[in-house]
Structure 1
Amino acid sequence: MGNYAHVFQGTAFTSKTFEEVGILKDYLFCINEKGMIVKTVSPEEEQYVTLLREYEGKDNFHRLLDGEYILPGFIDLHVHAPQWAQAGTALDLPLYDWLNTYTFPIESKFSDINFAQSVYEDLVQTLLANGTTTALYFASIHKESSLLLAQICARLGQRGLVGKVVMDNPDQCPEYYRDESTEIALKETEEFIIAVQELNEQTKQGVYPVVTPRFIPSCTDEALKGLGVLAAKYNTHIQSHCSESDWQHGYAIERFHKHDAFALNDFGLLQEKAVMAHCNFLADKDAKLFASTGTAVAHCPISNVFFSNGVLPARHLHDLGIEIGLGTDISGGFSPSLFDNVRQAVIAARMLEEGVDTTISADKRGVSSSRITTSEAFYFATAGGGEALSLPVGRIEENYAWDVQIINTTLPSAKLPIFNNDLEDIFQKIMYLARPENIQQVWVQGEKVHER
């Protein structure tokens, strides 16, 4: 029937469409040596029994136990890797104070390669344990430790997209934490891109360099222009922040007399492999520019509570044709779990629709047609993230990578309340109630990278 590296038997949940989750009940999943799904077989198909006979009992046959289910691995579109060292602290401060009192000082410490090693190793292991199989990382301004993060992703089996951050604007960046000069920032970015692309050639699951201006305020025009040129030259991914808060949105208008999105586009930084974080203040004309260039939004619903001054209108932006995925925004978001961010995405959208100020009449309090469902938030965390990155990840179907998390709902210490529920209900219970300890195994590109 075929020479497969692995065959799994079990029930999986995966997005069929934005609105609908497909349930693959008792399917066989056939994985090749490259870690790709080459065949999914339902119990009704003739070859099902033949495949079972051929693989059952072999070391590479994996039958899920009762109460175990397969989900696609999560795709985290926005992680500030150095900030893992400060996760869960200082969230009561205003953004400016948070950055200057906590964040920039901690990021500056990543000139120390040993400190970077201990933080990055712990972060990648933690994200894998939380079911995150692909992560898009901001590192720091330091070329060596940024490259180290890519090497750790490669070694631990996570698909990592890593950016050496560029911050060269002396007006907005502290002296102790900024690039020495624009010229050096661009030179080191190019060296970083070449080094990571070489590393990728030996990495099964893939590691990718990302052109990473922190955001418009932290970069000079020369740096932004040079980064756009490098992204085009080496065909890399691009990431930054866009219209996150009142302040950032206003800053771009003051400096360029146009919205953040249009300024970024002028420098060649909006394109099919570009992901912009937050984007809470996108106007419809900005959104249409995103859609026409293929630029995606990293929606960080927990972080938005603390630093974005508003709720992202995710439903509206999706309806305008923008690709949207989810991000934790460690450490503006305190949780390394995309399960937590799926839940918050649903809650935030519901609050946007219903409104929050009870002194305003119900018909004027909220923004109508804003809610998203659990299934739609799950799409953002999986298939939407894959589309944002233009990679074959985030779905359990043929020609996609075998990036999965196996969820155990019967764990004595974290048992889910399942009592004769149908599979649609079980899916929802997993999305709302699963904890990290329910994640029994994590696989990336056909390789097991985490097990409890």
Structure 2
Amino acid sequence: MSYDKVFLATAFTSRSKKEVDVLEDCLFCIDKEGMIARIAYPGDSDYEKILSGYGQTEHFTRIPSGSYLLPGFVDLHCHASQWAQAGTALDIPLHDWLNTYTFPSESKFSDLAYADMVYTDVVKTLLANGTTTALYFATVHKEASIRLAEICAERGQRGLVGKVVMDLETECPTDYRDADSATALRDTEEFILKVKEVGRTAKQGVYPVVTPRFVPTCTDEVLEGLGALAAKYDTHIQSHCSESDWAHQHVQERFGKNDAEALDGFGLLQDKSVLAHCNFLSDSDAELFAETGSAIAHCPVSNAYFANSVIPINRFSAMNVDIGLGSDISGGFSPSLYDNARQAVMSSRMLEDGVDPRLPAEERGTANSRITIAESFYLATAGGGESLSLPIGRLAEGYAWDVQCLDPSAESARIPLFDADEPLIDVFQKIMYLARPQNIRSVWVQGELVHSLS
């Protein structure tokens, strides 16, 4: 078999939710579609044949010794429009933050030139941070939302893009909402059809996503209509679910049930659904997620500011709920899933140990809540791919060649690797805890180079 590209590298990938595989000095053979067709290990019968056949050709890339490959990250929850306000107003409650800062900021995207500027920059920034796939909220503006999909296609990022729907007058600003339910549904259908056209031009795939902002900003009519559109066009679905005390209680008061059951009643929980936050899911809610194949986008940095709680990731994972990581720009200030992976570990430790020193240790926390950096890495990669039902997030045969190349010796972001005999699994841990964008030398999506510092 002939290959389009062959890489010689040492790499890290998830073996399971809790274990990391070290792929040392392997040959990664990529086909013309950008998929991993073969991984040859030293000692395999065809290893030397592949190396001699490709090693001196333009199709061969040798990753330098001391640099490492990781799967590209999968960001399951990012408000692309909020990149413009990232790092501001994180000290006020969620409801106030939305109405005072976020909705006025998002309303600016009626200006296509402004939208193009911000969206181009956020896609470029996420790629530079190792994020090869992103599930994006845009705004209510149809044309600007289509432009975000086009930018993903042009820049080579695998983008799943949603035109935001919010039409409930009592919870939405008069100058930033869909005109009415019928207009919201018509615009969403036109958006879906246009983005499907855009996606056919992108090797890596670009996808439309049905996107009710969250139950508190949507009428029953529009929620029902969006469920029907998702079924008609077999699209992904995204929204927020049980994020904070305020949002969770709003849905309970309106419907007499939790978000999960309400969303399911409108046909919005299914195998291509990704719901952000989900901090207040009950066990029966989590069982509903597992039954429908719906996934949780865990946003640990954002949750520290707005969710009023720490989500019990271990408990939901044990219930077979698909879970990945999200940056939640700009509720989360950082575009880096490295930062979010680190915070996921820290938050889980705080949940297990508790945070109120006035309580005895045995009463202070929630037992068996902590996760490791290996588990957090899984959430950022393979967990994200499984949540989207796409062959991404792993370095394995049959998966897309979405990878980031890490150079620990970057002058301005050196990772302390001084012992030549340091176990590679320890090198992996140091990368996950210390890597910065300066360390990410190159990024490929679907076999194509989309970012390079060299």
Fold equivalence (TM over 0.5):
yes
Q: CA deviation at 1:238?
A: 0.1
After superposition, give the CA deviation of every residue in 1:110-162 in whole Å (9 maximum; x if it has no partner).
Answer: 00000000000000000000000000000000000000000000000000000
Q: Within 2, Cα distance between the matches of 1:249 and 1:63?
A: 51
The residue number in structure 1 matching 2:436 is 435
The alpha carbon displacement at 1:60 in A equals 1.4
Shift of 1:97: 1.5
Which position in structure 2 is the counterpart of 1:417? 416
CA deviations on 1:405-448 (whole Å, 9 max, x unpaired) are: 00001122222111221101000000001111000000000000
Q: Secondary structure at the match of 2:37?
A: strand
Q: Deviations over 1:10-60 (max 9, x none)?
A: 101000100110111000000011000000000010110111100112111
Cα separation, 2, equivalents of 1:47 and 1:63: 18
Which residue does the alignment assign to 1:395?
Answer: 394
Q: Which whole-Å CA distance do the structure 1 matches of 2:352 and 2:292 have between them? A: 28
Q: Structure 2: which amino acid aligns with 1:323?
A: D
C-alpha separation in 1, matches of 2:411 and 2:47? 33
Whole-Å separation in 2 of the counterparts to 1:163 and 1:200: 13
* 2:48 equivalent in structure 1: 49
Q: Superposition pairs for residues 37-116 of structure 1, below 5 Å?
A: 37-116=36-115
Name the SS for the 1:164 alignment partner: strand
TM-score by structure 1 length?
0.99
Amino acid at match of 1:301: P
Partners of 2:151 and 2:237 lie apart in 1 by 21
Which residue is 2:446 aligned to? 445
What CA distance in whole angstroms lies between the structure 2 residues aligned with 1:206 and 1:325? 20
| Partner residue in 2 for 1:304 | 303
Identity %: 62
**Hey, what's the Cα distance between the residues in 1 that align with 2:24 and 2:66?**
12
* Structure 1 counterpart of 2:413, one-letter code: A
Higher mean alpha-carbon deviation, 2-11 vs 325-334, is at: 2-11
Map of 1:356 onto structure 2: 355
Structure-1 separation of matches of 2:59 and 2:346: 41
Q: How far off is 1:93 after superposition? A: 1.4
The AA in structure 2 aligned to 1:446 is G
- Counterpart CA distance in 2 for 1:218 and 1:413 is 44
Aligned amino acid, residue 56 of structure 2: G
Aligned to 2:180: 181
Per the alignment, in what secondary structure is the counterpart of residue 334 of structure 2?
coil
Alpha-carbon separation, structure 2, partners of 1:160 and 1:409: 28
User: How far did 1:202 drift?
Assistant: 1.4
Query: Take 1:449 and 1:58, find their aligned partners in 2: how far apart are those partners?
Result: 21
Report deviation, 1:82.
0.6
Q: Is the aligned partner of 1:166 residue 2:169?
A: no
Cα distance in 1 for residues equivalent to 2:116 and 2:411: 35
- Counterpart in 2 of 1:380? 379
Equivalent residue number for residue 135 of structure 1: 134
Question: Which amino acid is 1:336 matched to?
Answer: P
Structure 1 runs (4+) greater than 3 angstroms displaced: none
Deviation at 1:341, TM superposition (A): 0.2
Tell me which residue corresponds to 1:250: 249
CA distance in 2, matches of 1:259, 1:321: 20
Q: What secondary structure, in the 3-state scheme, does the structure 1 residue paired with 2:381 have?
A: helix
Shift of 1:100: 0.9
Please tell me the residue identity of whatever aligns with 1:247. W
TM-score (norm 2): 0.99
Cα distance between partner residues in 2 of 1:269 and 1:171:
22
Amino acid aligned to 1:45: D
Shift, 1:74, TM fit: 0.2
Corresponding residue of 1:147: 146
Aligned partner letter, 1:379 = Y
Q: Deviations over 1:188-210 (max 9, x none)?
A: 00000000111111110000000
Query: Partners in 1 of 2:146 and 2:379 — Cα distance?
Result: 28
- 2:197 equivalent in structure 1: 198
Q: What amino acid sits opposite 1:424 in the alignment?
A: I
Number of residue-to-residue matches in the alignment: 451
| SS in structure 1 of the partner of residue 442 of structure 2 | strand
In structure 2, how many angstroms separate the alpha carbons of the residues matched to 1:414 and 1:436?
8
Aligned partners of 2:270 and 2:212: how far apart in 1? Answer: 15
Q: Alpha-carbon deviations, 1:68-111, whole Å to 9, x = none?
A: 00000000000011100000011111112211111000100000
Distance 2:410 2:158 in 1: 28
